[in-house]
A and B are shown apart, each in its own frame.
Chain A
Amino acid sequence: MIFWRAIAAATLFAATPALLAGEIPSDARRSGYSFMGPDTRAMQDDDTSNPGMLFVLDGEALWTRKAGSADKACADCHGDARDSMKGVAARYPAFDRALARPVTLDQRINLCRTNHQQATPLPYESRDILALSAFVAHQSRGVAIAAGDDPQAKPFIDQGRTLFTQREGQLNLACTNCHDDNFDRRLAGSPITQAQPTGYPLYRLEWQTLGSLERRLRSCMTGVRAQAYDYGAPELVALELYLMSRARGMPMETPAVRP
């Protein structure tokens, strides 16, 4: 009898978080930075100890390097990135009218490469695409995130929210189960964060390199034993767009450092 009562109590307890499930109020949102230890914070705060800055430096060199058969560099059209790229990354993923879908910053850089530089697109997670997107996003450091303002992006944000709250994988977990309902608790000793994508592309100490938000999302999917979407898949872009719109108003930190 006690046994069954215990099971009933456990079921009730397990069901409670689902009842409380909901979005984090905007004043309770916290960057992943606030979940880190003092050493990792210090590493991010000092530009000469932040390894992400190495990629920003590489990106700065790539910005002015001519590429493709059009023999144009990014700087030939966009000029000084400090002016032209300020605040740009804070609006991405952005709706592209020609493609009638949202595109990520990495995809935008590759669209520029194919359409305007007549160059081959850079592979996802290659050093050059990460360096360029880190350099562009770094120009928005401190700028409030403004993604998802475009009314045409609305259906894609909704798709992203659906994916965020949809259980998947052998562990049958949705993003929301950890990142909305259980942030500030621990999973295998590591803090669970709110999944606010404020610092991408970011330097993850575990990766020993810079990585995109898509890489982060894919590793979470693998973590719940689900089949991860391919890089550039519409589902990943929708999730990225939802997460950025969920973090609206929070300041960009690129390149962030995370453990």
Chain B
Amino acid sequence: MAALVNVPTRAKRGDIIEIRTLTSHIMETGFRHTMDGAPVPRDIITSFTCRHNGAEIFRADLFPAIAANPYLSFFTVAKESGKFEFEWIGDNGYSSIASASIIVE
């Protein structure tokens, strides 16, 4: 699924940088019913992880009350150049990844 990540391409060592992520997901709560009364099964993203050069720097658990196409923004300190990897995991074996690089001077 499509994902949009926004990481500054360059930063000074020690700078606080903002990382913004947006991913495409219906986030079906599991509390709704169809017109016939049959429950719509839950289908949500349950976990989001961000790693920098392999080390986990941010993790979030997601729940049914979170809107469709979850947008997450968080801050970190720029320490070294390298790659940010993002992973979304959810119901029904859902898995999606994205990555972005940064140059720290």
Is residue A51 within 8 Å, beta carbon to beta carbon, of the partner chain?
Answer: yes
Complex alpha-carbon distance, A51 and B24, angstroms: 8
B3 — nearest CB in chain A belongs to which residue?
Answer: A54
Complex alpha-carbon distance, A51 and B23, angstroms: 8
Is residue A125 within 8 Å, beta carbon to beta carbon, of the partner chain?
Answer: no
Is residue B65 within 8 Å, beta carbon to beta carbon, of the partner chain?
Answer: no
- Is the beta-carbon distance between B68 and A209 smaller than 8 angstroms? yes
Size class of the contact patch on chain B: 10 to 19
- Is the beta-carbon distance between A54 and B20 smaller than 8 angstroms? no
- Is the beta-carbon distance between B22 and A48 smaller than 8 angstroms? yes
- Is the beta-carbon distance between A51 and B69 smaller than 8 angstroms? yes
Complex alpha-carbon distance, A209 and B24, angstroms: 10
- Is the beta-carbon distance between B24 and A54 smaller than 8 angstroms? yes
- Is the beta-carbon distance between A57 and B2 smaller than 8 angstroms? yes
Is residue B4 within 8 Å, beta carbon to beta carbon, of the partner chain?
Answer: yes
- Is the beta-carbon distance between A54 and B6 smaller than 8 angstroms? no
Query: Which listed residue, A57, A205, A208, A209, touches B4 by the CB 8 Å rule?
Result: A57
- Is the beta-carbon distance between A54 and B69 smaller than 8 angstroms? yes
Known: A51-B22, A58-B24. Is A208-B69 also a contact (CB below 8 A)? Answer: yes
Complex alpha-carbon distance, A39 and B78, angstroms: 27
Is residue B5 within 8 Å, beta carbon to beta carbon, of the partner chain?
Answer: yes
Query: Which listed residue, B2, B3, B22, B67, touches A49 by the CB 8 Å rule?
Result: B22
Complex alpha-carbon distance, A167 and B49, angstroms: 53
Residues of B within 8 A of A23 (CB): none
- Is the beta-carbon distance between A49 and B24 smaller than 8 angstroms? no
- Is the beta-carbon distance between B6 and A48 smaller than 8 angstroms? yes
In chain B, residues 3-33, which have Cβ atoms closer than 8 Å to a Cβ of chain A? 3-6, 20, 22-24, 27
Residues of B within 8 A of A209 (CB): 68-69
Residues of B within 8 A of A46 (CB): 6, 20
CB distance from A209 to the nearest CB of B (A): 6
A56 — nearest CB in chain B belongs to which residue?
Answer: B2
Query: Which listed residue, A47, A51, A55, A58, touches B71 by the CB 8 Å rule?
Result: A51
Residues of A within 8 A of B69 (CB): 51, 54, 208-209
- Is the beta-carbon distance between A48 and B20 smaller than 8 angstroms? yes
B6 — nearest CB in chain A belongs to which residue?
Answer: A48
CB within 8 Å of B: which residues of A?
46-49, 51, 53-55, 57-58, 205, 208-209
CB within 8 Å of A: which residues of B?
2-6, 20, 22-24, 27, 67-69, 71
Subset of 9 A-B contacts with CB under 8 Å: A48-B5, A48-B6, A49-B4, A51-B69, A53-B4, A54-B4, A58-B2, A208-B69, A209-B69
